[in-house]
Amino acid sequence: MTLRLGDLAPDFTAETTEGKINFHEYLGDGWGVLFSHPADYTPVCTTELGTVAKLKSEFDKRNVKVLALSVDGLVDHKNWINDINETQHTTVNFPLIADENRKISELYDMIHPNASEKATVRSVFVIGNDKKIKLIITYPASTGRNFDELLRVIDSLQLTAYHSVATPANWKNGEEVVILPSIKDEDIPAKFPKGHKKIKPYLRTTPQPNL
């Protein structure tokens, strides 16, 4: 199944290290990040899950729930968590999905046969509070993900979902944003009272409106 931006995120029920969950019910009215890792007891994945555990408060601030997945089982997941906690000096505080039958991996197209016929690639899906897919990123198994970048993108997604703006290259929370071309010049003062700069007719910037 090929998923695209704007598609409804497929729902599923799964066994996790924190009990059985229904994905949509688990997310509730919040946002979600679903990310896969190739296998348990692997070095890069160990650092990734430890990093996410340390950043969980940042995801919480953004009303985002995180879930990890691999095609290994619950026993391996739970034993591996002990290693993650020990080596990464943290406590894993989010669910790891057991997907031994690969149903969820196939539902989200996480297995790429030209990379591996069995293991999932490093897929990332950001799901909005409308249960629609807002972001898809795929990394090879050899490259660990940048979760600071993922938080930056979530900041952009949440900002642009509620305001008529886009974020420029390398934007970080707190910096100026771009006014959408669909907003007429004469409507800008009322919509963006903090002021704006007109660099080109199609390039107009304003201070971040939700700060």
Q: Give the three-class secondary structure for 81.
A: helix
In which region does residue 195 sit, left (phi positive, over 0), alpha (psi from -120 to 50) or beta (all else)? left
Q: Which of 9, 21, 34, 45 is catalytic?
A: 45
Residue 79 burial (CB count, 10 A): 11
Query: If we measure between CA atoms, which residue out of 90, 91, 4, 77 comes closest to residue 37?
Result: 77
In DSSP terms, which residues pair with 178 in a beta bridge? 166, 205
Cα separation, 5 vs 160, whole angstroms: 15
Cβ neighbors of 196 (< 8 A, separation 6 or more) are: 179, 188, 204, 205, 206
Longest dimension (CA), the chain: 62
Q: Is 45 a catalytic residue?
A: yes
Catalogue the active-site residues: 45
